[in-house]
């Protein structure tokens, strides 16, 4: 099968459209791409020197939705089905997978990192872990009327904060605090609200905060307008008003900045929880002893396990988590301009690149 891909040969050099022939091997399928979201991880690979595990040249892109158009003999039950391709696909057979630690599977497949990704006409991936998409033409299954291309952002931007929420043990009535609410953090706010939490959104951008006031955020705070002590006081007051003790306040760092990570760590209180979701290659200086003094927990999360994807799809298709107002579709051929615009902070929503033709 002929596959057209936008290839990164050298970091910071424009990606070029190239063609190759691919056929699925044992256990694999080929998915015709409906949409591929652009993540800040992609910018890290392209601009910041973060190394991909597959040597260059490589096609980036790990937020993929589409239709299975080719398979091997053992995966032909997927032919013709609409799917979301998980951003992290564990092997399911190693010791880590068997011990319930599939997120750290050493044999995992990360499209756009381990193999060619979704900034392409098609992507070849393992069938294991594919998330089936229900019939989007059925109103009862898709009352929010979401199209297949838009669902691609579930593969990281929506599912990753969902796994972070699950790991935190968040319960209805808890307080969830998100530091940085562009992209992943904004979807995290909606998810936490859908799960019954009272949500605080913290950011530097007023427009981001305003957009979430009707999408789950009960309190919005500008980190650049409040001193750290006042920010913590506001969060503590919000929890106290609801009778929520400090050990039921879950803080999530989703900015992927050093300033955001410092802010999130400062918000920890006795028995508190910090979920580290955002990524920055920069070092952060923290007083780690706070974890000891507060008997608190800090935990990272790497992507989302495929078994959690169907629940996220249900939340999106039901309209409990909105994605349409927070994404921006662009033609795939605008990939280089889109990367430049994202780096310059000129894009308001999550870009979704859609193949032409």
Q: Where are the beta strands (DSSP E) in the chain?
A: 2-8, 16-21, 28-37, 58-59, 63-71, 82-85, 122-126, 131-132, 175-179, 198-203, 217-222, 249-253, 273-276, 297-300, 327-331, 350-354
Whether residue 108 is found in the same domain as residue 249: no
Q: What is the pLDDT of residue 66?
A: 98
Regarding whether 193 and 117 lie in a shared domain, the answer is: no
Check whether residue 9 and residue 148 sit in a common domain.
yes
pLDDT at 213: 96
CATH of the domain at 9: 3.90.180.10
| Total domains present in the chain | 2
Q: Among the three residues 257, 281, 300, which one is the final residue of a domain in this structure?
A: 300
pTM (2 d.p.)? 0.96
Q: What is the Cα Rg of the chain in Å? A: 20
- Locate 272 and state its tokens: 């508190």
By the 8 A CB rule, do 31 and 85 touch? yes
- State the Cα–Cα distance between residues 268 and 16, nearest whole angstrom: 46
Cα dihedral 42, 43, 49, 51 in deg (nearest 10): 0
- The whole domain housing 202 covers 160-300
- Co-location of 7 and 149 in the same domain: yes
Closest among 148, 23, 19, 144 to 83, alpha carbons compared:
148
Residues 202 and 144 occupy one common structural domain = no
Give yes or no: residues 214 and 296 share one domain: yes
Locate 349 and state its tokens. Answer: 């929503």
Please give the distance of CA 152 from its chain centroid, rounded to a whole number. 10
Q: Give me the DSSP letters along 131-160.
A: EE---TT-TTT-TT---TTGGGGGGTTTHH
Instruction: Please check whether residues 181 and 294 belong to one and the same domain.
Output: yes
Can you give the pLDDT at residue 10?
97
Q: Please give the chain's pLDDT, 357 residues, in tens.
A: 999 999 999 999 999 999 999 999 999 999 999 999 999 999 999 999 899 999 999 999 999 999 999 999 999 999 999 999 999 999 999 999 999 999 999 999 999 999 999 999 999 999 999 999 999 999 999 999 999 999 999 999 999 999 999 999 999 999 999 999 999 999 999 999 999 999 999 999 999 999 999 999 999 999 999 999 999 999 999 999 999 999 999 999 999 999 999 999 999 999 999 999 999 889 999 999 999 999 999 999 999 999 999 999 999 999 999 999 999 999 999 999 999 999 998 998 999 999 997
In Å, what is the CA distance from 261 to each residue of 199, 278, 281? 18, 8, 12
Mark whether 72 and 211 lie in a shared domain: no
């Amino acid at each position: 099968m002929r596959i057209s891909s936008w290839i990164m040969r050298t970091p910071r050099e424009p990606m070029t459209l190239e063609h190759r022939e691919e056929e699925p091997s044992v256990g694999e399928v080929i998915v015709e791409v409906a949409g591929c979201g652009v993540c800040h991880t992609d910018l890290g690979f392209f601009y910041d020197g973060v190394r991909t595990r597959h040597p260059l040249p490589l096609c980036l892109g790990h937020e993929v939705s589409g239709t299975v158009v080719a398979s091997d003999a053992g995966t032909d039950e997927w032919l013709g089905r609409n799917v979301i391709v998980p951003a992290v696909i564990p092997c399911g057979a190693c010791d880590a997978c068997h011990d319930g630690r599939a997120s750290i599977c050493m044999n995992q497949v990360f499209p756009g990192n381990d193999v060619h990704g979704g900034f392409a006409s098609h992507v070849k991936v393992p069938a294991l872990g594919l998330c089936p998409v229900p019939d989007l033409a059925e109103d009862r299954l898709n009352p929010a009327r979401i199209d297949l291309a838009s669902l691609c952002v579930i593969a990281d931007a929506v599912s990753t904060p969902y796994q972070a929420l699950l790991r935190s043990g968040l319960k209805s009535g808890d307080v969830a605090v998100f530091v940085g609410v562009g992209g992943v953090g904004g979807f995290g706010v909606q998810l936490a609200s859908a799960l019954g939490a009272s949500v605080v959104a913290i950011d530097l951008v007023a427009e981001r905060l305003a957009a979430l006031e009707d999408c789950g955020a009960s309190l919005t705070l500008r980190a650049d307008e409040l001193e750290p002590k006042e920010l913590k006081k506001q969060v503590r007051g919000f929890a106290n008003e609801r009778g929520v003790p400090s050990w039921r306040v879950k803080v999530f760092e989703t900015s992927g900045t050093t300033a955001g990570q410092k802010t999130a760590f400062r918000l920890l209180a006795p028995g508190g929880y910090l979920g580290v979701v955002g990524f920055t290659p920069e070092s952060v200086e923290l007083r780690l002893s706070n974890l000891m003094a507060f008997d608190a927990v800090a935990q990272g999360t790497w992507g989302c396990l495929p078994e959690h994807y169907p629940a996220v799809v249900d939340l999106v298709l039901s309209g409990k988590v909105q994605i349409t107002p927070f994404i921006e579709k662009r033609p795939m051929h605008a990939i280089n301009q889109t990367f430049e615009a994202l780096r310059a902070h000129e894009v308001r929503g999550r870009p979704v690149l859609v193949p032409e033709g």
